[in-house]
Structure formats: structure tokens, C-alpha cells
Chains A and B, each alone.
Chain A
């Protein structure tokens, strides 16, 4: 249930990859680089944590990138143009995001529609709404931004653990606890196993669906806030394609795209692998950033093929049994 073997493979890939990088560029093995890696991927880690819940429950959420984009614009406009204190804007946008996710979950459940297409509509909606707010990049100058940006824990070796990296780590840990230790988490797995059976066994499938998409959108909103700290700006085109990156991180982290198995820790490792590839490419200097996408695609294929093989193996006795009825 905790999907240990795939997570182990992810961990091995990460460690081996990191060792290979460090062998070529010894500087990579420093807290400075690791700190930057965490900071650069903070928003991805947060949104991928939410995506993990959705995918384990057998769904998918394509709207997260757009929700991040909307959030950055909303926060920027609120603090710069509308004169709303940033903290109030944060609360407002988190509530709005959560409501947005809840609405998508409700539509998915009530009308029995594929999550893929409903969240696709959500993706259009959120991106369109952010364009309506503003099509320009809005720099954020609120004092809280510089305070937060300046804050960092010194790590041994000169690395900086920034506030947004800390937020990400907290979300990952919190997400892992929520998924693995609570009744809510068990129900997420149950839904991914079989919605019908979970319902028969007493899980309130409708409520769970609403809550899961609410969680994903809420975390996307939080990721948007973090992203606005990272870039100190709000831009309606920001975080385009992040839904793909986060789905990739989840799958590389050993979560079954068809649901029922996976872990938040694996997703975190998946995010780190993507960050590591990016870091390697930066260090190399001659390689271009598009290799990230190709490498991610290759890893994605490898993990999906691996899971396909595992599922096929697991099904074999079932197939034999199915033939038993005359």
C-alpha cells in the first residue's frame, strides 16, 4: 500500500544520479546547491503533494498550473493595486482556490464525468480569469515579500534554507502524515482501489472526491503564493505546464497513475530528481534546458512501463481465475 518498491527505485535513481553529477561536478554536492534546488522547486513540491492525493484517488488535476498563475496575479494586484494587506489576500486566495477545487470535485462526482476533462475546463477557467485580471507582469513590492525573501536558515557549508523551501518541506511532511496516518488518507487509497467497492465499504465517495480536489487546489493556491515570493511578481502566464511537471514528479515518485498506490515522499523524490536534472544542465553549461523535458519523458516512460509490467504480473492469477466460471 505504501508502494515501497517503486519509491525505493526512485530513491536509488536519485542517489545514483546525484552521485554521478557529483562525480562530474564536485560542487554539486554542497548544501548551497541543495538549498537552491529546494528553493527553486518549492512551488513544484507543494503542488505535486496535492497532485499525489488526486492521482492516488484515481483522478487527475490539470488545473493546478492555471491556479498558480491566477494566484500570483491575484496576490500581486491585491497588494499593489487594491491596497489589500498581503496576508488578507493570502487568506482570500486560499479560500477561493479551495472553493474552486471543491466545485470541480463536485462536478466530477455529481455528473460522473472524467476528472481529466472537468479539470481541463478548470484549467481554461483559471487561466482565463487570470488574464482578465491582468495580462502584464505585476511586480510585488510589499514589505512582507522582502522580509520573507531575506529570511533563510543557514545550513552548514554555506547553504541557505529559504522560507519558501521550509514551507515546501512542511507541506511535504504534513501531506505525508495526512496521507499515511489519517482516515482521510486511507480513504484516498480506497477510492483509488475502486470507487464502487470503497462506497460499499462505507466510504463517503462524494464527500471524499470534493475534499481531494479541494486539497489539490488549495495547495496549488499555496504554491502560487510561494511562486509569487520566488519571482516577486504576479504574471498570468506563470506556471504554464506545471501540471505536467507535477504529474511527472508524482509518477516518477512511484505513484500509480491509475490510482491506489503511491506516496508523498516518493513525489518529493520525484521533484528532487527533476530539480537535479535541471541543476546538472545548469552546471554543464553546454546542454540546453530542453534536455530536462526529454530526460523527464524518458523517466516517465521507464516508470510507467515498470508499473505496467508490475500490474500485468499481478493480474495474471486473476486472469486465470476469471476463466474459472463456465
Chain B
């Protein structure tokens, strides 16, 4: 895109935005600049603050500090609707249109052409067709939007936004469910819009696409701005380092050496385990007293691997073994029965039962494992709860407090306690340190080490590379929903992990087994 020599004020200027949720600082003094006619990629791992930044810009969340200027004018939208009226439109991955309405109705909802109180259906369709034609789309606009592919729905959402005279278009993971051809079409439309002077914010975890389409890149990590670069002059390795590495110090594993871990007994193993369209078949051995880290970018198949291992998702091929014996892991109950535990990434929706007490949340998995007929007496429950509240230093130390009232870090500890109470052999932790404050962060990492020393097998997912490198005995690197590399012992350092993540398709066949 040609940028004029005297750009004047940027189209969208965000300065010093901060936003906290309770004790968690989701955004700290973040700056972001979008020029007219540019495609600007906004990158970062889950929890880096991308969504929060978008929601602050579009008025969904009120901001704690900072200013937003649109075309030099300060704006303070209070709702997504107000942001849209100001000219900032967002298209989310799960398209926020109405699939049960026709394409034409979606484009013109609440502003249909009318005559004598009746919607001029023909006129509306004609206009809808003309509008979509601008984006190279020729479809039956009278059919329900839900009948069409996600790509068409995205284009419809973009067309609606542009027709509502949006100047800033935020596309949040628009390509996540599109095939290659559809991505091409979308990119064509994005270039065309940028050519018209519209500023586009492109959020994606597909780095290839980022390099293909974007002019500049802004990277966020842990709610802070890492940097803003021209895409053309930013090497891929450097970009991934910006996204994942906290500092560039070469941290190596403090864990057992390669020779030592071979001696340990295998706790659970997965041979050629996988599910079509979910994650490619993989081999994985988890040993007692060993931490295996799963590293990779967002969408690389980390959570998918974790869910398969635990039994939250059903594998369609391969064989799982626990202590050498073949087992079937088809439901979470199976996983629990075999002594597995799983702390999911989405604590609030998949982890805690907010209105139940700390005690009840802690004993839940143990009780489910014991079955209905062997209830834990209140005294046993109190003992278990008290033990783990003390051991994990859960605060406030009140087992009868509804867990929804605790901070994120303490909720995470409650979830850990829930599984520790079942005396598991394997714990799967998906982003255990996400969204919790610094103090709790260090404690969780200390806990992971202690648990491991007690003989537990751990499978840990984290976007914090230096963190994963510190506590892992082995690191499995994933890319494009496949396990591509396994690092052991001395080989575990941030540089190697980064290199494995960044390697492009050509090296996919690389022998990754240690």
C-alpha cells in the first residue's frame, strides 16, 4: 500500500490504554496506531490483550486510562453500536450477524427501503446484490445467511460495515475457518478496501497470512505493547520471539537430564493417537516425575492434544496405554477413572462452578470419581478443603466462600486442588498461569515443580516459552495441528523451541523424535 509522505493524523490513534479486571491487568499503557489505507496485524497469544484492546476501542469495555482518537478527534464510544456510528466496525470470527435471516435482511436490518410501511423486498435485494457485487460476491441474497459458508458470512458482515460507512474495520480471526481459496477472496477484498483508504486491523494467528497481507505489525504480550514494526523488515523468528519470549536470555531446562528421564517409568503413552480434522496422529510418552511441555502458537493443536489425552475429546485412531495397559479414553469420566486430571484453559466456563464453595469445588472431581454411593462426609470434605487451602495457600482461606468471588490465581489453585485431591497420576494443565497476577504466577510454577518431584506426570501447555523451558523435562513443539519436534535435555532452550515453532512447511518432515 502506498503511504503518502505527509500522512497527517493517523486514522485511529490509541494512546496509553490501561484496563484491569479485578487484580488482573489486562492492558497496561498500550499504544496502537492505524493509518488510513493500511492493513495492520495485531498479534499476540491468548491473553496477550488483543481482544481486550479491541473491546476497549469498540466501547464494549470501559477503559481505565488512555485516549482514543479517530481522525484526530477524541472519541469515547460507550457501546459497540456507538463505535459503529462513529465509524469503527468489528467482524468477529463467529460472525455477529443473524444466520436465520436472509442475506439481504442482514445487510439492511432496521434500515430496509420502505414504501407505505412495507419493506420493498425487491429493492432491498437489488441493493444487497449491488453491494455484494462490489466485493465480487454473486449469491442469492434472499436465502438465509446461515446457508452460506463462513467466508460469505464474513464478506456480508464486512459489506454491512462498509455500507454503514465504517472507516476502521477490525477483523478478528476472520480466516480461522476459511479454506485457502476463501482466504484469497477475503484478502482481495481487504486490499480493495485499504485502497479506498479504510484502515484495517487484522487479528490472526496464521503468521503466513500476516506476512502475506499486512503492512505493519503490532505485538502485544501479557497486556503490554511489545513493539510495532514494518512487516517487510521483521524476520519471522524475531516476530515469534516478540510474541512468546519474555526476555531473550537463553534459559535452559533446570530439570532432569536426558539420561535420567529415560530411567523413569512410563505413566501413560499414546501411539499414533489422533482425530481427523482435530489434531494429526502423534506419539507421546508421559513418565512419572516428568514435566512435558507443549509449545506452539495459538491454534497449533496444543489444547486439542490436551483434550485428547484427558478424554475430553474422543480420538478416532491410535492406542492409549496407562501403566502399560491399553485403555479407552472416550469421556472425561474415563480420564478421571484412570487417574488423569485436566485444568482447562477457560477457567470460568470449563473449570470452576462459580456459585459453589471452595470446598465443594475442591471435592467435586474426587466425589465424581468415588461415585454416588460413597459420599465424602462433611468432615472429610472439610479436611480435604482445609488441607489444600493450606497447602496451596488459597486466599482468602475460607473454604465456605463461593469460588466465583476469588481472584483468578486462587481459582486456578482451587482447580489444581480439585485434581490433587483425586491423587492423580497425570495432570494436564492448559495455560495454568494465564490471567493471574505475578505473585500467584510464581507460586503456580513452584507447585508444578513440587508436584513433579512427588512423582506426578505433568503435561503443561503454556504460551510463555521461558516458563515452559524452565520446568519441562521434554518439550513437544506443535505446528499446524501436528507434533513436529520433541526437544529433550540440553536441547531445551528458547532459541531451539522458537526455531522449531518458526520453521516453515519445508521442514515439516523433520525427524522430531528424541
Q: Do A and B bind each other?
A: yes
- Do A189 and B105 touch (CB < 8 A)? yes
- Do B98 and A194 touch (CB < 8 A)? yes
8 A Cβ contacts from B284-335 to A: 296, 298-304, 313
Given contacts A202-B110, A321-B176, contact A1 B299 (CB under 8 A): no
Cα-based distance from A324 to B296 in the complex (angstroms) = 14
B257 within 8 A of A: no
B502 within 8 A of A: no
8 A Cβ contacts from A241-276 to B: 260-261
Cα-based distance from A325 to B144 in the complex (angstroms) = 26
Closest to A184 in B: B117
Cα-based distance from A260 to B144 in the complex (angstroms) = 11
| A300-326 vs B, Cβ < 8 Å mask (1 yes, 0 no) | 000000000000001000001101111
- Do A181 and B119 touch (CB < 8 A)? yes
| B15-37 vs A, Cβ < 8 Å mask (1 yes, 0 no) | 00000000000000000000000
Across the interface, B96 reaches (CB within 8 A) one of A182, A200, A323, namely A200
Number of interface residues of A (CB under 8 A): 28
Nearest chain A CB to B291 CB, angstrom units: 20
- Do A182 and B105 touch (CB < 8 A)? no
| A181-219 vs B, Cβ < 8 Å mask (1 yes, 0 no) | 111001101101110011111110000000000000000
- Do B100 and A189 touch (CB < 8 A)? yes
- Do B176 and A202 touch (CB < 8 A)? no
Across the interface, A193 reaches (CB within 8 A) one of B46, B101, B111, B296, namely B101
| B113-129 vs A, Cβ < 8 Å mask (1 yes, 0 no) | 01001110100000000
- Do B146 and A314 touch (CB < 8 A)? yes
B277 within 8 A of A: yes
B368 within 8 A of A: no
Cα-based distance from A202 to B106 in the complex (angstroms) = 11
Closest to B142 in A: A1
Cα-based distance from A285 to B112 in the complex (angstroms) = 53
Given contacts A193-B98, A321-B177, contact A326 B302 (CB under 8 A): yes
Given contacts A323-B278, A326-B301, contact A187 B110 (CB under 8 A): yes
Nearest chain A CB to B158 CB, angstrom units: 14
Across the interface, A326 reaches (CB within 8 A) one of B80, B93, B300, namely B300
Cα-based distance from A203 to B296 in the complex (angstroms) = 42
B97 within 8 A of A: yes
- When distances are taken between beta carbons in the complex, the residues of chain B under 8 Å from A326 are 46, 205, 296, 298-304
Closest to A192 in B: B100
Given contacts A182-B117, A201-B110, A323-B304, contact A1 B101 (CB under 8 A): yes
- Do B114 and A183 touch (CB < 8 A)? yes
- When distances are taken between beta carbons in the complex, the residues of chain B under 8 Å from A321 are 94, 150, 176-177
- Do B176 and A199 touch (CB < 8 A)? no
B102 within 8 A of A: yes
- Do A1 and B105 touch (CB < 8 A)? yes
- Do A200 and B80 touch (CB < 8 A)? yes
Closest to A56 in B: B100
- Do A199 and B81 touch (CB < 8 A)? yes
- Do B112 and A193 touch (CB < 8 A)? no
B139 within 8 A of A: no
Cα-based distance from A323 to B301 in the complex (angstroms) = 10
B455 within 8 A of A: no
B234 within 8 A of A: no
B65 within 8 A of A: no
Cα-based distance from A326 to B346 in the complex (angstroms) = 11
Given contacts A201-B97, A201-B110, A326-B302, contact A183 B119 (CB under 8 A): yes
Cα-based distance from A177 to B117 in the complex (angstroms) = 11
B99 within 8 A of A: yes
Closest to B278 in A: A323
Q: By CB atoms of chain A within 10 A, which of B101, B278, B300 has the most?
A: B101
- Do B177 and A181 touch (CB < 8 A)? no
- When distances are taken between beta carbons in the complex, the residues of chain A under 8 Å from B100 are 1, 189, 192-193, 260-261
- When distances are taken between beta carbons in the complex, the residues of chain B under 8 Å from A183 are 110, 112, 114, 119
Nearest chain A CB to B353 CB, angstrom units: 21
Cα-based distance from A325 to B105 in the complex (angstroms) = 30
- Do B98 and A197 touch (CB < 8 A)? yes
Cα-based distance from A202 to B146 in the complex (angstroms) = 20
Given contacts A314-B146, A326-B303, contact A182 B119 (CB under 8 A): yes
- Do B177 and A324 touch (CB < 8 A)? yes
Given contacts A186-B105, A314-B146, A326-B303, contact A202 B111 (CB under 8 A): yes
B109 within 8 A of A: yes
8 A Cβ contacts from A135-181 to B: 177, 181
Given contacts A181-B118, A186-B101, A261-B100, contact A324 B299 (CB under 8 A): yes
- Do B176 and A324 touch (CB < 8 A)? yes
Cα-based distance from A113 to B80 in the complex (angstroms) = 24
Nearest chain A CB to B504 CB, angstrom units: 19
- When distances are taken between beta carbons in the complex, the residues of chain A under 8 Å from B109 are 186-187, 190, 198, 201-203
- Do A325 and B96 touch (CB < 8 A)? no
8 A Cβ contacts from B174-219 to A: 176-177, 205
- Do B81 and A1 touch (CB < 8 A)? no
Given contacts A181-B121, A186-B105, A186-B109, contact A201 B98 (CB under 8 A): yes
- Do A320 and B277 touch (CB < 8 A)? yes
- When distances are taken between beta carbons in the complex, the residues of chain B under 8 Å from A320 are 277
Cα-based distance from A197 to B205 in the complex (angstroms) = 25
8 A Cβ contacts from B43-100 to A: 46, 80-81, 84, 93-94, 96-100
- When distances are taken between beta carbons in the complex, the residues of chain B under 8 Å from A325 are 93, 173, 176, 298-299, 303
Cα-based distance from A181 to B124 in the complex (angstroms) = 12
- When distances are taken between beta carbons in the complex, the residues of chain B under 8 Å from A314 are 146
Cα-based distance from A1 to B141 in the complex (angstroms) = 12
Cα-based distance from A189 to B110 in the complex (angstroms) = 12
Interface residues of B (CB under 8 A from A): 46, 80-81, 84, 93-94, 96-102, 105-106, 109-112, 114, 117-119, 121, 144, 146, 150, 173, 176-177, 205, 277-278, 296, 298-304, 313
24 pairs across A/B with beta carbons < 8 Å? A1-B100, A1-B105, A181-B118, A182-B119, A186-B101, A187-B109, A189-B100, A189-B101, A194-B98, A200-B84, A201-B109, A202-B109, A260-B100, A321-B150, A324-B177, A325-B93, A325-B176, A325-B299, A325-B303, A326-B46, A326-B205, A326-B299, A326-B303, A326-B304
Q: Apart from A187-B109, A323-B278, A325-B176, what 10 extra A-B contacts exist at CB < 8 Å?
A: A1-B102, A177-B118, A182-B117, A186-B101, A202-B81, A260-B100, A261-B100, A323-B304, A326-B46, A326-B302
Closest A-B pairs by Cβ, 6 of them: A193-B98, A260-B100, A202-B110, A321-B177, A193-B100, A326-B299
